[in-house]
């Protein structure tokens, strides 16, 4: 599969951490209102705000007086039609200057019926529930959410790398005539030479990237010691 054999796909899949749901649940959207059903519920009920069973008591037992009663909810109906806010039960704090990108699982098929939004949270300053939002895409059929497969992925981002002043600093050139000599050298190394080599081996790119990563790791280890 691409996740194993394709270097770029494998790198994207391995970048960050998978987040699992602590409980199974189901959502049902009638086109206007969202309904939910937990594992121990006999049927669906209208979704407003749902807490994890027993969390409010354990949270209040650990929280200082001014924070009691503020345990994060598990599921919350959004003001946007057909949207739901989900908290998988995690909070995150990152090193100064680092944020977290909350997104769907990279290169991982999921059940139909919903789409996850993506968001960047500056978790070096903002400490709270690591939430995501989903949009239901079908009506009148339950959408299943399991706790034994990844629900979302979080990836570290260096702050400043997604600032507008940096992302706006680019130029677009048209046609192969704009290639410089070093561009043609790289193109030859990446495309021409592998496709003209009769002894070409599969996974050349992946092997090259692994060697580069091993070299970077070795350099870091020597720097630390």
pLDDT tens-digit series, residues 51-99: 998 999 999 999 999 999 999 999 999 999 999 999 999 999 999 999 9
* Contact (Cβ atoms closer than 8 angstroms) between residue 104 and residue 12: no
Q: Which residue has the higher pLDDT, 76 or 164?
A: 76
Q: What's the pLDDT at 209?
A: 61
Cβ–Cβ < 8 Å for 102, 134: no
Q: How far apart are the C-alpha atoms of 165 and 88, rounded to whole Å?
A: 33
Spell out the residues 6+ positions from residue 94 whose beta carbon is closer than 8 angstroms to its own: 100, 123, 124, 156
Answer for the pair 152, 140: CB distance below 8 angstroms, yes or no: no
Is pLDDT at 136 greater than 50 in this prediction? yes
On average, the pLDDT of the chain sits at: 88
Strands 45-46 and 132-136: unpaired
For 138, other C-beta atoms within 10 Å of its C-beta total 14
pLDDT > 60? residue 25: yes
Q: Which of the given ranges, 8-17, 105-114, 140-149, 216-225, has the highest pLDDT on average? A: 140-149
Answer whether residue 225 shows pLDDT above 50.
no
| 53 contacts: CB under 8 Å, gap ≥ 6 | none
The pTM of the full predicted model, rounded to 2 decimals, is 0.78
Instruction: Give ∠ CA 157-8-12 in degrees, rounded to 5.
Output: 35
Give, rounded to a whole angstrom, the gap between the first and last alpha carbons of the chain: 39
């Amino acid at each position: 599969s691409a996740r194993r054999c394709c270097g770029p796909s494998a790198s994207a899949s391995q970048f960050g951490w998978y987040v699992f749901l602590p409980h199974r649940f189901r959502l049902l959207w009638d086109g206007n209102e969202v309904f939910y059903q937990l594992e121990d519920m006999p049927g669906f009920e209208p979704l407003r705000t749902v807490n994890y069973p027993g969390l409010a008591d354990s949270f209040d037992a650990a929280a200082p007086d001014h924070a009691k009663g503020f345990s994060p909810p598990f599921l919350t109906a959004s003001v946007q039609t057909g949207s739901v806010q989900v908290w998988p039960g995690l909070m995150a704090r990152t090193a100064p200057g680092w944020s977290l990108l909350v997104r769907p699982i990279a290169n991982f098929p999921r059940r139909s019926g919903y789409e996850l939004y993506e968001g960047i949270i500056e978790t070096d300053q903002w400490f709270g529930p690591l939430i995501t939002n989903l949009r239901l895409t079908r009506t009148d059929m339950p959408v299943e959410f399991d706790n034994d497969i990844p629900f979302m992925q979080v990836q570290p981002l260096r702050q400043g790398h997604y600032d507008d002043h940096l992302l706006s600093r680019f130029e677009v050139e048209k046609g192969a005539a704009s290639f410089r000599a070093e561009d043609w050298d790289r193109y030859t190394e990446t495309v021409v030479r592998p496709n003209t080599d009769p002894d070409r081996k599969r996974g050349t790119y992946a092997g090259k990237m692994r060697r580069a990563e091993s070299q970077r790791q070795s350099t870091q280890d020597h720097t630390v010691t």
